[in-house]
Amino acid sequence: MRFDNFGSKNPKQNMYNMMKRREFIRDAGIAAGMISAFPWLYSCSREAQNEVKGERARIGIVGTGSRGMYLINILLNIPIVEIVALCDNFAPHLDDAKALCPKAKTFADYRDLVSLPEVDGIIVATPLHQHAHITIDALNAGKHVFCEKSLANKLEECLAMYNAYKESGKVMYIGQQRLFDPKYLKAIDMIHSGLIGDIVGIRCYWFRNNDWRRPLPDPSLERKINWRLYSNYSGGLLTELATHQLQVGNWVMRMIPDAVMGMGDIIFWQDGREVYDNVNLIYRYRNGVKMTYESIISNKFNGLEEQILGNKGTMELEKGKYYFEDAKPAPGILQLINNVEHRIFDNMSFAGPSWVPETAISERGEYVMETKTSTTSGASSVGAENDGTVQLVEAFCHSVITGKPAENLPEEAYYSSVLALLGAKAIEEQTLVTFPEEYKIPYLNFA
């Protein structure tokens, strides 16, 4: 379908969206070279934007809970989008979505929405255990699909989704929004250029302090509303949080880990849940670099971060800051104090002549972006402002119109989902788990 004036009847909205795109391209420093390095960004180019002028993506949404509503509000501000159908089997959620999209058709069964000829693309924002069959059915019905992360709650379902995508000839996006976050794009480009030297380690963590529960209108809805807490529906901290950060580690390393080990327990939230409230994992890459992952939801002091450790410096991706190993010289008074300490302690027999305390570098660091960028505490279970989600959803809508896939994005998402599930397997079996051959797809070091 064609519409005049860049797809919208509201010139102010068109101008706003054009300005936001320019800001994104400017802030991330997106140019031909970066698109070559990160090919899923093609839809952000000026050439790609010209391809969709006057066109419209007709979208159906399956799952209108908190994340679904978050995405609906994004879609309503994208001028090339028309929301034509909504689906949820929980009536209050569907009613909330209908209030925002009064012209959209509504369904309780996703199969009715998938069968609509007027739907070009489908967004799947359901609980995790429903991702695979809805996505596969939609692809088989000839629809483009955007599915929230993780891909699925079972290894075989992740592979089935990926294979269905490859066989369908359609587009599949997964909700890995860091791939479109300007500060991540620029920071990882800087890492790949050698700014912090050789990568020698990766530390990922995500800390919260809440029980992860939603209020219940009726106790009988416990597992429907609080599905994240039960193993039949969710992988807990690994599939809900870790997949974001595992993908970042692979993006930085440009390879996939070949083994993982870890531990998990329920130590604080003793409320009948089945998924762990704290986990620790170690992933090993073939070159010996380790990526650690830790998540606790009963202490929020450290928030969330992905620290990339190089022999010349460290990059903190969520903060958008980097620090060099060779810090600037300390002020004169601090140098004097250090010299006095060395003269005292270097002569003490218990310490030996080489005793020097190893303390963390106190350098304040430099910001990746020249303009102010947003960071998140990681506390929200719905979404964070300016985290790349808007650009990710816009890119999907662009692909719905053009039929052009986001190169490498499905593979990045596939491996992050599989690695999360392999981490869960390592915890359950209390053993070192190597990457199974049957779940390798041709990408990066497994090509």
Q: Which of 275, 26, 7, 300 is nearest to 153 (CA)?
A: 275
Whole-number pLDDT of residue 337: 52
Q: Is the pLDDT of residue 317 over 50?
A: yes
CB 406 within 8 A of CB 173: yes
The residue with tokens 């001028």 is 79
CB 64 within 8 A of CB 85: no
Residue 396 phi/psi, 5-degree rounding, is -60, -45
Whole-number pLDDT of residue 386: 81
pLDDT tens per residue, range 383-397? 667 899 999 999 999
Between CA 153 and CA 160 the distance in angstroms is 12
Overall average pLDDT of the 10-27 stretch: 49
CB 286 within 8 A of CB 276: no
Complete DSSP assignment for 101-143: -TTSEEESSHHHHHT-TT--EEEE-S-GGGHHHHHHHHHHTT-
Q: Is the pLDDT of residue 23 over 90?
A: no
Q: Which of 293, 288, 281 is nearest to 258 (CA)?
A: 288
3-state secondary structure 57-111: EEEEEECCCHHHHHHHHHHCCCCCEEEEEEECCCHHHHHHHHHHCCCCEEECCHH
Identity of the amino acid at 401? I
Q: Which of 171, 147, 161, 191 is nearest to 38 (CA)?
A: 191
pLDDT tens per residue, range 52-65? 999 999 999 999 99
Contacts of 186 (CB under 8 A, 6+ apart): 27, 28, 29, 368, 369
Q: Is the pLDDT of residue 27 over 70?
A: no
Overall average pLDDT of the 260-278 stretch: 98
pLDDT tens per residue, range 397-430? 999 999 999 999 999 999 999 999 999 999 999 9
Between CA 94 and CA 124 the distance in angstroms is 14
pLDDT band of residue 20 (cuts 50, 70, 90) is low
pLDDT tens per residue, range 90-135? 999 999 999 999 999 999 999 999 999 999 999 999 999 999 999 9
- More confident of the two residues 152 and 360: 152
CB 97 within 8 A of CB 69: yes
Q: Find residue 124's DSSP bridge partners.
A: 62, 147
Whole-number pLDDT of residue 13: 47
Between CA 143 and CA 327 the distance in angstroms is 53
Contacts of 171 (CB under 8 A, 6+ apart): 121, 144, 145, 396, 399, 400, 403, 404, 405, 406
Domain ranges of the chain: 1-180+222-303+381-447
Average pLDDT, the chain: 89
- More confident of the two residues 29 and 191: 191
pLDDT band of residue 3 (cuts 50, 70, 90) is very low
Q: Is the pLDDT of residue 344 over 60?
A: no
Given the candidates 3.40.1160.10, 3.40.50.720, 3.40.309.10, 3.30.43.10, the CATH classification of the domain at 1-180+222-303+381-447 is 3.40.50.720
CB 141 within 8 A of CB 164: no
- More confident of the two residues 344 and 379: 379
Between CA 185 and CA 193 the distance in angstroms is 12
Q: Where are the alpha helices (DSSP H) in 233-348?
A: 237, 243-253, 332-345
Count of residues in the chain = 447
Q: Is the pLDDT of residue 352 over 50?
A: no
Say if strands 321-324 and 366-367 run parallel, antiparallel, or are unpaired: antiparallel
pLDDT tens per residue, range 203-220? 999 999 999 999 999 999
Contacts of 260 (CB under 8 A, 6+ apart): 281, 282, 283, 284, 419, 422, 423, 426, 432, 433
